[in-house]
């Protein structure tokens, strides 16, 4: 570590920092734009321009699987073999040129047109879900968790009877991705979930090869036919499906939950229910900036280097604190205020550079459809607990409320009213 660079003993998964990461980031920002975290043995970058620079710097790798693998015992490595193959095939954990080879075919199959086609089905799914809710419910368990799983099922052509499995698999996979080896129960469940998921997606790929369909898997199979330039192997298609599930589920759950949480805290935001589409869109972008699902993106130093005045050593992790960058006063006026119609809003909630979120349009579409519908169905929705009782998942990378008890306050418009 360079001597002139400050370090901090802060623990980013301690309860206070999980509850209010922005206070923690503020403290770090007061120290320096790049700080060494003693507790995590990692660098953290909190400055907007530096976070953007880091996310496009090829000297920093997204391969965080290798360091995890190196920590495993021979026995754990043997248990982890299949899951490792799966995760190594995820574009997010690959640098160029492999990253582009894995991303391009999925990008071509995941077109804006294909996403827009899902609008009506998302609206119908939302209405069905909202229509069956009691007066008091948990917004996470009953709305924000099942809906994105249902949408990914539509995207991939997953059988209706397996949608609950999707939610469960994506939840369990977290332990693998975060490398929670020290929690054998979670680790074991994650390995089992990965196996079950691989087997199911394998059957689905086989089925859609025999009976061609126009869904994302079908388009990937067609694009990977003989002689095609953007071919993926069946294993890579399975890998892509599992990444879309993992990348698109908890993040969207978080965006929907946080949106309703802030609306419950601030009555002025309730007019999102009747706002024009552009205003709903601006509100969603502001939630992504102000309190979005992404907290930190992790990169790994490939070789010793001098990075913006700091000497970094090969294999050190670098935490790009996107949540801090999104509240950098040099990039946003009044960064700690939630301004629902903020324009422009150059937030980094979907990342930046080559790994920019592939599902951003889908996530936006879901939020723009679902949030106004919730508010029109339940105009008086309120928190059904003391705000202080809420807790967030204790992870370094993301920000997700565990459970959001609400009271619907009685039905408003029929949830089947058209969205406009
Ligand atoms: C609000 C919801 C979402 C948020 C906040 C979000 C955020 C992100 C971020 C920040 C990244 C880049 C991570 C990095 O650079 O390390 C990313 C990548 C990715 N996201 Fe999302 N995401 C969301 C929803 C989705 C959805 C719905 C899907 C697909 C169904 C999806 C699929 C992906 C994929 C495949 C990547 C990897 C891209 C690559 O490595 O080239 N995401 N997402």
Residues 109-149 pLDDT 10s: 999 999 999 999 999 999 999 999 999 999 999 999 999 99
Q: Which residue's alpha carbon is nearest to atom 34 within ligand 1?
A: 358
pLDDT confidence of residue 413: 64
The closest alpha carbon to 146, from 395, 359, 382, 370, belongs to 370
pLDDT confidence of residue 129: 97
State the DSSP code for 402.
S
Mean per-residue pLDDT of the chain: 93
CA of 397 to the centre of ligand 1 (A): 12
Produce one character per residue of 75-107: b if its CB has 16 or more CB atoms within 10 Å, e if not.
eeeeebeebbebbebbbbbbbeeebeebbebbe
- Helix, strand, or coil (residue 12): coil
4-38 pLDDT, tens digit each: 779 999 999 999 999 999 999 999 999 999 999 99
Give CATH superfamily name and number for 7-407: Cytochrome P450 (1.10.630.10)
Ligand 1 atom closest to the Cα of residue 245 is 30
Q: Which residue's alpha carbon is nearest to atom 7 within ligand 1?
A: 350
d(C-alpha 292, C-alpha 348), whole Å? 10
Ordered DSSP codes for 318-361: EEE-HHHHTT-TTTSSSTTS--TT-SS----TT--GGG--TTHH
- For residue 30, give every residue at least 6 positions away whose Cβ sits within 8 Å of its Cβ, in sequence order, or none: none
**Confidence class for position 418, pLDDT limits 50, 70, 90:** very low
pLDDT confidence of residue 420: 28
Q: Is 289 exposed, middle or buried (0-12, 13-18, 19+ CB in 10 A)?
A: buried
**Confidence class for position 411, pLDDT limits 50, 70, 90:** low
pLDDT confidence of residue 419: 30
Q: Which residues line ligand 1 (CB under 6 A)?
A: 55, 62, 91-92, 103, 152, 243-244, 247-248, 251-252, 255, 292-294, 297, 349-351, 355, 357-359, 362-363
d(C-alpha 283, C-alpha 138), whole Å? 23
d(C-alpha 181, C-alpha 193), whole Å? 15
Q: How many CB atoms lie within 10 A of CB 318?
A: 22
Q: Which residue's alpha carbon is nearest to atom 4 within ligand 1?
A: 251
Domain ranges of the chain: 7-407
């Amino acid at each position: 570590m360079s001597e002139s660079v400050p370090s901090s003993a802060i623990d980013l998964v301690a309860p206070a920092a999980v509850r209010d990461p922005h206070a923690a980031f503020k403290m770090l920002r007061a120290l320096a734009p790049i700080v060494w975290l003693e507790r995590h043995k990692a660098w953290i970058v909190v400055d907007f321009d530096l976070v953007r620079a880091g996310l496009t710097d090829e000297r920093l790798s997204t391969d965080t699987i290798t360091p995890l693998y190196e920590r495993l015992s021979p026995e754990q490595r043997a248990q982890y073999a299949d899951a490792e193959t799966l995760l190594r095939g995820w574009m997010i954990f690959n640098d160029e040129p492999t990253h582009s080879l894995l991303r391009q075919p999925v990008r071509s199959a995941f077109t804006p047109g294909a996403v827009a086609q899902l609008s009506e089905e998302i609206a119908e799914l939302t209405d069905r879900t909202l229509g069956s809710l009691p007066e008091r419910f948990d917004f996470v368990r009953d709305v924000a968790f099942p809906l994105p799983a249902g949408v990914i099922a539509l995207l991939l052509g997953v059988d209706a009877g397996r949608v609950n499995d999707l939610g469960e698999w994506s939840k369990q996979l977290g332990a693998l991705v975060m490398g929670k080896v020290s929690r054998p129960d979670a680790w074991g469940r994650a390995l089992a979930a990965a196996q079950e998921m691989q087997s199911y997606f394998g059957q689905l790929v086989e089925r859609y090869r025999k009976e061609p369909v126009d869904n994302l898997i079908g388009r990937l199979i067609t694009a990977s036919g003989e002689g095609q330039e953007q071919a993926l192997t069946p294993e890579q298609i399975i890998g892509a499906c599992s990444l879309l599930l993992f990348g698109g589920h908890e993040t969207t759950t978080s965006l929907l939950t946080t949106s309703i949480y802030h609306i419950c805290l601030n009555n002025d935001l309730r007019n999102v229910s009747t706002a024009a589409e552009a205003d709903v869109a601006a509100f969603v972008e502001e939630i992504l900036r102000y309190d979005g699902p992404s907290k930190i993106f992790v990169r790994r130093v490939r070789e010793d280097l001098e990075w913006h005045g700091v000497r970094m050593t090969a294999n050190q992790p670098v935490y790009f604190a996107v949540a801090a960058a999104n509240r950098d006063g040099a990039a946003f006026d009044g960064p700690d205020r939630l301004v629902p119609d903020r324009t422009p809003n150059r937030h980094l909630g979907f990342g930046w550079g080559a790994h920019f979120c592939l599902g951003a349009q889908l996530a936006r579409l879901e939020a723009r459809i679902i949030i106004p519908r919730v508010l029109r169905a339940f105009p008086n929705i309120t928190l059904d607990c003391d705000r202080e009782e809420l807790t967030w998942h204790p992870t370094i990378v993301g920000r997700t409320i565990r459970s959001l008890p609400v009271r619907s306050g009685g039905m408003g418009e029929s949830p089947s009213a058209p969205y406009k």
